Amino acid sequence: MSKFIITGGAGFIGSCLLGKLNQQGVDDVIVVDNLGVSQKWKNLVGKSYADYYHKSVFLDLIESGKLDLEDVDTVFHLGACSSTTELDAEYLASNNFRFSVSLARWCRQRSARLVYASSAATYGGGELGFCDDPMMLKQLRPLNMYGYSKQMFDEWAQRNGVLKDSVGFKFFNVYGPNEYHKGAMASMVYKAYHQILQTKEVKLFKSHRPDYRDGEQLRDFIYIKDATEALWQASQKRSVNGLLNLGTGQARSWLDLARAVFSAMDCPEKIVFVDMPPELQGAYQYFTQADAGRFNSTSLLSGFTSLEGGVHDYVKNYLSAQCPYL
């Protein structure tokens, strides 16, 4: 059986994808990551894979031409620094852009399929909408360096013809099991669950724009199980290529999300609004909603899990079961 590689394979989306591959009977998988001193190693426990490489070792091997792997079918490139508040632009350019370029070149030399993670952060404040039309790509203006590092690679991939036989997914707000190690970058579902356990209330940011009431800022939330199904299908359907939004196409408010968590926990609602930190106010997206037309035309998914359905599954079967792993 052909090999698969997952960069960021111990992370949130990567480890859930590894679980998905195992469900499909695939265990000839190379995991690439940086386990460091975090707890994300737990995401690999109980899963089957062939080998593990530290990301720096892996990068050195592919850039030197010494990574001798045969029959690599698909490389899922999910590894990146995803912090929207990371200020080290040089680190983001190296880790998120340069690494991706080297990996894309390696894939092309070996005719391996590349399925990679872009981000809805490339759309910035959404002034131009959230359309994944390739003709719109160069017009996008991300609000933070994380988003720009993803934009850098999207533009490079388009300019160098990589997108003709690869898929880049612009992930919107993904939530679900295996994210417990992400700290401040964990989803609001995870944070709300623990806030309710500890204080019986959920804290949401106040709005600092007159056109949005407190808690009514909007996001396109996608459940992790939908995301991993799309990734798997993209590896199998070679006729699907290019940049695609990966979101439900339906924006929901933070109030909707908080209420779904309270409901799943069978707790009375208590929501408190707090000021947004000043450093976030200029880089905060008040609205995201995937234009899902091009994605839906691919038939990679038959439909999306509702916010209430996804939150219920996550809370009942993982968080409340004290088993945050998928």
Q: Which of 182, 191, 203, 206 is catalytic?
A: 182
Phi, psi (rounded to 5 degrees) for 5: -120, 135
Tabulate helix, strand, coil % of the chain (nearest 5).
45, 15, 40
Cβ contact 247:191 at 8 Å: no
Q: Which of 49, 116, 123, 146 is catalytic?
A: 146
Residue-wise over 233-248: b if at least 16 C-beta within 10 A, else e? bbbeeeebbbbbbbbb
Beta bridge partners of 113: 74
Q: Strand 252-253 relative to strand 3-7: parallel, antiparallel, unpaired? A: unpaired
Contacts of 212 by beta carbon, 8 Å cutoff, 6+ apart = 218, 286, 287
Cβ contact 132:81 at 8 Å: no
Phi, psi (rounded to 5 degrees) for 176: 145, -175
Catalytic status, residue 223: no
User: In this structure, what token pair is assigned to residue 206?
Assistant: 């106040």
Catalytic status, residue 49: no
Which residues are known to be catalytic? Answer: 146, 182
